[in-house]
Amino acid sequence: MKKAIALCLTAAMAASLLTGCGSKTTETTAAAENKTETTAGAAAEEKKDEAAGVVKVIEYDLTDEQYAFGVDKDQPELLEQVNAFIAKIQEDGTFNEICDKYFSDGEPAAVESAEYDASKDQLVVATNASFEPFEYVDGDSYKGIDMEIAALFAQELGKELVIENMDFDAVCLSVGQHKCDIAMAGLTINEEREEYVTFSDPYYKASQRLVTLADDTAFDDCKDAASVEEVLKGLSASDKIGGQQGTTAQYFVEGSDDWGFEGFPAEWVPYKSASLAVQDMINGNVKYVIIDAAPAESITKAINAMQ
């Protein structure tokens, strides 16, 4: 933004020089024109540098999803408390304040986990802390939208917070087996997961997006999600699409009647985290990666910033 403002001011100054040059010499006019051209060239180079990167996100939502928390089926009172809390933080602006920390320039809050102790009054949360900006590890602490909500919810209940970090596939299962009270892991509501948990009211609208190498031009002419899918339908069985195991992306690529996805010809390659999938794409082992929109933006921004 600072660069853009600087460019606007430079262009305005150049325009002023040209407007008032009627009484000046030809040499002065030529110098002003040369300065303008030089400025324009510098601006183009700056814009090119800003756009440079290794990976990019194709900015079309491939799915329409809603996140919710998965509550232990045998704790209906906890479900009521969760729903009441979701309504509360959305109405009083707390939810937006938390999101602004991760989508704007706010400072994320570190969330600490206590050790599990059956003798204590604790809220045990199952998560997969490799899904930035919803849950991730930072040093000895947890951060993320879900993690900050978990901390506030535990405080609301007057309980000690325990965070159990595990593979994404195990999150709902652990709640279904009564090892954890609630799953908070950027969970999309769907019938398959309802076998293990009772979903709360939704709290976040989400979608899947495609991540490609920055120099890939296959989607340059796409105008919407449907045109992106047409390109994907043209892939072969030898092509590979990666993503986090057990997420919506897997069902989107492989196809699922429960999810209402037709699937694509490409082979699905699962990873423990979305960031590992993107890194393997950079290494040339998969053609594309499909992940949730917010993590897609976070991961590509972080990777490109390191270049």
Phi and psi at residue 184, in whole multiples of 5°? -130, 95
- 147 close to 111: Cβ distance less than 8 angstroms: yes
For residues 288 and 195, give the distance between their C-alpha atoms in angstroms, rounded to a whole number.
31
Which tokens hold the place of 192?
A: 């398959």
55-63+207-305 matches 86-205 in fold: yes
pLDDT band at 123 (very low <50, low <70, confident <90, very high): very high
CATH architecture group of domain 55-63+207-305: 3-Layer(aba) Sandwich (3.40)
- Which of 273, 243, 300 is CA-nearest to residue 56? 300
- Which of 188, 307, 301 is CA-nearest to residue 249? 188
pLDDT at res. 222: 98
- At residue 42's C-alpha, the angle toward residues 33 and 37, to 5°, is 15
For residues 33 and 12, give the distance between their C-alpha atoms in angstroms, rounded to a whole number.
13
Domain ranges of the chain: 55-63+207-305, 86-205
Cβ neighbours, 10 Å, residue 199:
21
> How far apart, in Å, are the Cα atoms of 282 and each of 66, 70, 252, 299?
30, 34, 22, 12
> Between 116 and 45, whose confidence is greater?
116
| Sheet containing 288-292, strands listed edge to edge, beginning at the edge strand earlier in sequence | 55-58, 208-213, 288-292, 240-244, 267-271
pLDDT digits (tens, 9 = 90+) for 153-198: 999 999 999 999 999 999 999 999 999 999 999 999 999 999 999 9
pLDDT of 215 strictly over 80: yes
Written as one string, the DSSP assignment of 32-48 is HHHHHHHHHHHHHHHHH
Overall average pLDDT of the 272-279 stretch: 95
Q: What CATH number labels 86-205? A: 3.40.190.10
